[in-house]
């Protein structure tokens, strides 16, 4: 039987979280200012979604809320932290290897649904490290 992902709901230190987008993508926009005011008045209603990766805690959903919480001086927030049985963010791909959709199950086993239904998920690669 395949290992299951581990999901934990807890309060985390905002300084330990790394967003997957840049603050410049949201800062200064009208909705961002409204979000900060809402968080000041009502607090965080929806927890951040965080992936526990070997490289650290990555916020995958809620980056804008993370920036806003930091801006208003909050130090901690509720988060759902997901830990996968294997690191799906780092794979070893031989230099010069061209990855096709058919290769996904080999290199990215947890993204099997992409092969079965290509419209299911769009994948954004943050960094690609090639090994010689």
Span 62-79, pLDDT tens digits? 999 999 999 999 999 999
Q: How many Å apart are CA 28 and CA 23, to the nearest integer?
A: 10
Residues of the chain with CATH 3.90.1530.10: 6-83
91-110: per-residue pLDDT in tens?
555 566 666 656 666 666 65
- 47: Cβ contacts below 8 Å, ≥ 6 apart: 9, 62, 77, 78, 79, 80
Q: Whole-prediction pTM value?
A: 0.64
Rounded average pLDDT over 48-67: 90
Q: Distance of CA 83 to CAs 34, 44, 57, 114, Å?
A: 32, 23, 10, 20
At the topology level, CATH places domain 6-83 in 3.90.1530
């Amino acid at each position: 039987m395949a290992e299951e992902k581990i999901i934990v709901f807890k309060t985390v230190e905002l300084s330990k979280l790394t967003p997957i987008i840049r603050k410049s993508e949201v800062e200064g926009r009208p909705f961002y200012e409204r979000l900060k005011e809402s968080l000041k008045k009502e607090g965080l209603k929806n927890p951040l979604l965080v992936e526990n990766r070997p490289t650290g805690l990555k916020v995958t959903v809620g980056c804008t809320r993370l920036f806003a919480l930091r801006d208003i001086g909050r130090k901690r927030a509720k988060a759902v932290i997901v830990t996968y049985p294997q690191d799906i963010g780092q794979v070893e791909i031989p230099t010069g290897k061209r990855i096709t959709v058919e290769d996904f199950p080999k290199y990215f086993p947890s993204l099997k649904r992409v092969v079965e239904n290509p419209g299911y998920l769009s994948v954004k690669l943050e960094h690609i490290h090639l090994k010689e």
